[in-house]
Amino acid sequence: MTPDRTIRQPGRWAVLAALVVLAVVMLFPFVIVTLNAFKSPAEYSSGGPLSLPHGLYLDGIVAFWNRVDFGLKLWNSLLISGVVAVAAVVLSVLNAYALGIGKVRGRLWILVLFLVANTLPQEALVYPLYYLSKEVGLYDSKLAVILIFTVIQAAFGTYLLSSVLGQFPRGILEAAEIDGASRSRMLWRIVVPISRPTLSVLLIFFFIWTWNEFFLPMVFLIANDNQTVPVALGVLQGEKMMDATMSSASALLGIIPAVAFFLIFQRTLTRGVTVGAIK
Amino acid sequence: MFRVGRSAAVAALAAAALALSACGGSSDDSNSGSGGGSAEGRTLTLWHYETGNSAMGTAWAQAIKDFEASHPGVKVKFEEKGFEQIQKTASMVLNSDEAPDIMEYNKGNATAGQLSKQGLLTDLSEEATKRGWDKLLSPSLQTTAKYDERGIMGSGKWFGVPNYGEYVMVYYNKDMFEKAGVKVPTSFDEFTAALDAFAKKGTTPIAMAGAEYPAQQLFYLLALNKANRAWIDSFELYKGKVDFHGPEFTYAAQTISDWVKKGYIGKDSAGMKAEDMGVAFIGGKYPIMVSGSWWFGRMQEEIKDFKWGSFLWPGQFAPGSSGNIWVVPEKSENKDLAYDFIDITMKKEIQNLLGNSGGVPVAADPTAITDAQNKELIENFNKLSTQDGLAFYPDWPAPGYYDVLVAGVQELINGSKKPEEVLDEIAQPYNDNLADIAE
């Protein structure tokens, strides 16, 4: 026991040190952003990005908020991400129920197809989606973005959930079947409640991923009234000029909602992506 | 437990359905709102991507006010866009019903030229002669307004109207010049002597950014010192053949390489970005920065600790051209209003305001510019323009050429490749593009 401990102790310290270094590296950009968000442009230019701000300069944040009507952008992002997260989870559950538990013929190939669809770069999707949405009159509407991301996120969700549900304890399902439960009853009353931790994690991921999307929303949300937070942040990147302090202010405003969302739901997240066993 | 699960799922579905129908409705509303084309209550949809407090932003905000005053019943719906969004989505937007009535767009073959070739822009030739824009703009400024049927600038029909000009010049720190006893150079020899004086004192004279446009513009400036107008027309407008191993580019590549060795340019500048360069100059770390008039407003606002000024590059030519242009999309529903708006932006009052706000107007009254620094900026531009000195930009001739030049000049600064090798490297994509156009 004693020699074992002496060997383990320095090892633990090394792990701790490595984690601290990693945490500092991860947090460093956020610190820089926060520092510069509260600096005036003149302060930034004379002191550089690493200097400490002299006092709190809030004009950058306020000016940015008003310039892009940030409240509206927040609402747009919230609406799009929220609807996508819920709809994509529902769609994933329905798909995965059929593929994972229902054992549809050729399900392996269907899953491979979903996986391949997942790896497609969004740039490749832009033109087909553009023409489709123009044909059905959805170009420049939030609905177009919601539909697109529901499908994109559900493709990943289906893939993940199918393999999770593939391991679903058969005993429970068989018991329900003997009790005479219909298939939809089994889905909503047994499978969904038991996989709820997994579904919550998916919901949170879908929300945050959709929130952070830039490219497709930029292409499909043309009117300023429809735009999301990341697209609004793009307004600050000029052709040759960038406004470093205002960009920092906007970046801070942009990440706060996602961080807040994460903090609220982090308990669900840490429960992990595993289905609860037989209770 | 089962009941809770179910009601939650139902509620979620209901919420999703509600939200879906809600946003479907709102998008319909906005469509019917912006589509007005009747005589009463018309709306001019206008997009640009200049910040509100820049010279262009200030002048155009005033132009919108003037327009609304002279067009009662017409509302201007202005939307500030991101540069990247316009660059990446312009051809898609202009091909749809969501196209604005008038917008700012980048001049050049790969941007406005491309759109004009695709038939997405309105031909403005008739309006240009009718309203006298062709008289207000000097020939070198008109280069970026006209595009031929291949989408190549310089001749053909008018597809855009520039409001402002831009050019590359030398910014200098007056305090550092004074302290080192260096006078403002008036010739190229004096300029290199000044660089040498700083280098001998252990100061790197030129703030440079190898990772972005500034280094290639310096490279081009040096080539221009050995060039004439025919060479520029060959290089930029394909009017003749360009020998990359001719005296112009050979001199430029050799000089950059020499300047790094002599310490006029820092070796570490190869990895610097334009923003780093600007911040270093504003922070008083370098006496000289060679870059464009787009920095001017920022210098005025942010340099507090020392006196600064600008002078023209010692030579006949400098990179420069018209600024971005107003274009009228082919799908615009209010073309007549768009022409009226462009006309207002070309009026003396708006042009003077642009000049007084730190921009380079194209049709201002020089006596109406009050600030001494602004006056210097505009007078230098007019001098360059009248000596036929606007030489456009080195990355214009071929799509993707910007990155080719960044890589090439970086290698010169690093010293990782010899000047002749770099010239071969930048010749290849240029000649490939020529072959493409000829097809």
Dist CA B246 CA B239 (whole Å) = 16
A130 and A195 in a single domain? The answer is: yes
For residues B67 and B153, give the distance between their C-alpha atoms in angstroms, rounded to a whole number: 30
Return d(Cα A232, Cα B85) in angstroms, integer: 10
pLDDT band at B298 (very low <50, low <70, confident <90, very high): confident
**Domain shared by B193 and B64, yes or no:** no
Query: How many domains, chain A?
Result: 2
The answer to whether position B31 is within a domain reads no
Please tell me whether residues B109 and B212 are part of one structural domain. Answer: no
Residues of B in contact with A134 (CB under 8 A): 96
Does residue A107 share a domain with residue A230? yes
Contact A210, A81 (CB under 8 A): yes
pLDDT at B318: 94
Q: Is residue B6 part of a domain?
A: no
Average pLDDT estimate for B89-100? 91
Instruction: List the single residue in A146, A188, A238 with the smallest CB-CB distance to B51.
Output: A238
Nearest to A202 by CA among A163, A260, A254: A163
Cβ atoms of B165 and B360 within 8 Å: the answer is: yes
Q: Is residue B425 one of the residues assigned to a domain? A: yes
Summarize pLDDT for A39-96 with one digit per residue, the tens.
887 788 777 777 788 777 888 888 888 888 899 999 999 999 999 999 999 999 999 9
Instruction: Say if residue B266 is in the same domain as residue B292.
Output: yes
**Mean pLDDT, residues A251-270:** 79
Query: Are B274 and B226 in a shared domain?
Result: yes
Q: Do B19 and A42 touch (CB under 8 A)?
A: no
Contact A45 B282 (CB under 8 A): yes
What was the ipTM of the complex prediction?
A: 0.75
Tell me what pLDDT residue B14 has: 44
Residues B283 and B396 in one domain: yes
Per-residue pLDDT at A269: 66
Task: Work out the angle at residue B193's Cα, subtended by the Cα atoms of residues B191 and B195, and round it to the nearest 5 degrees.
Answer: 70
Look up tokens 């609905």; give the residue. A143
The tally of domains found in chain B comes to: 2
Find the residue in B nearest to A238 (Cα). Answer: B83
**Cβ distance B428 to B401 under 8 Å?**
no
A122 touching chain B per CB within 8 A: no
Q: Which residue of B has its CA nearest to A85?
A: B16
A33 & A110 share domain: no
In terms of Cα–Cα distance, which of A246, A172, A83, A27 is closest to B20? A83
CA distance A129 to A148: 8
Pick the range with the lowest mean pLDDT from A58-62, A151-155, B429-433: A58-62
Work out the number of other CB atoms within 10 angstroms of the CB of residue B204. Answer: 21
A41 contact partners, CB below 8 Å, separation of at least 6 = A60, A243, A244, A245, A246, B298, B301, B302
Amino acid at site B363: A
CATH number at residue B130: 3.40.190.10
pLDDT one-digit tens code per residue, B302-342: 888 899 999 999 999 999 999 999 999 999 999 999 999 99
Whether residues A32 and A83 fall in one domain: no
Same domain, A196 and A129: yes
The residue whose two tokens read 């499909």 is A220
Let me know if residue B16 belongs to a domain: no
3-state secondary structure of B290: strand
End-to-end CA separation in angstroms for chain B: 72
Domain-embedded: residue B408: yes
A193 contacts in B (CB within 8 Å)? 1-2, 5
Partner B contacted by A188 (CB < 8 A): yes
Q: What's the rounded Cα separation, in Å, for the pair B325 and B385?
A: 18
Residues 125-164 of A with CB under 8 A from B: 130, 134, 138-143, 146
Looking at the fold, whether A32 and A157 belong to one and the same domain comes out as no
Domain-located, residue B17: no
Is residue B70 domain-shared with residue B94, that is, in the same domain?
A: yes
Q: What are the pLDDT digits (tens) for B8-26?
A: 444 444 444 444 444 433 3
Are A33 and A146 part of one and the same domain?
A: no
Identify the domain containing residue B177 by its residue range: 166-320+392-438
Same domain? For A87 and A223 the reply is: yes
| pLDDT at position A271 | 61
Residue B50: its chain A contacts at CB < 8 A? 238
Q: What is the pLDDT of residue B393?
A: 92
Q: Nearest 10 degrees: CA dihedral of B197, B203, B209, B210?
A: 80
Distances (CA, A) of B25 to A41, A137, B18: 42, 13, 11
Same domain, B226 and B344: no
Are both B98 and B144 inside the same structural domain?
A: yes
**Which residue has tokens 């579905």?**
B13
- Distance of CA B313 to CAs B196, B263, B365, Å? 17, 20, 24
Domain assignment present for A76:
yes
Same domain, B56 and B180: no
pTM above 0.90, yes or no: no
Q: Are residues B285 and B400 in the same domain?
A: yes
Question: Is residue B27 in some structural domain?
Answer: no
For residues B283 and B408, membership in a common domain is answered with yes
A259-265 contact pairs (CB < 8 A, 24+): A261/A204, A261/A207, A261/A208, A261/A211, A262/A204, A262/A208, A265/A200, A265/A204
Q: Cα–Cα distances in Å, from B267 out to A133, A156, B270, B284? A: 51, 47, 6, 19
- Minimal CA separation from B229 to chain A, in Å: 27
Judged by a CB distance cut-off of 8 A, whether residue A218 touches chain B is yes
**B84 vs A79, A142, A237: nearest CB:** A237
Whether residues B159 and B170 fall in one domain: no
Contact call for B49 and A235, based on CB within 8 A: yes
Contact A224 B80 (CB under 8 A): yes
Please name which of A24, A26, A28, A60 lies closest in space to residue A41, comparing C-alpha atoms. Answer: A60
Helix or strand holding residue A62 (H, E): helix A59-68
Sign of torsion over alpha carbons B259, B263, B268, B273: negative
The answer to whether residues A94 and A230 belong to one domain is yes
Structural domain harbouring A6? 2-37
Q: Are residues A7 and A104 in the same domain?
A: no
Candidates B270, B316, B288, B344; CA nearest to B65 is B344
> A116 to chain B, minimum CA–CA distance in Å?
26
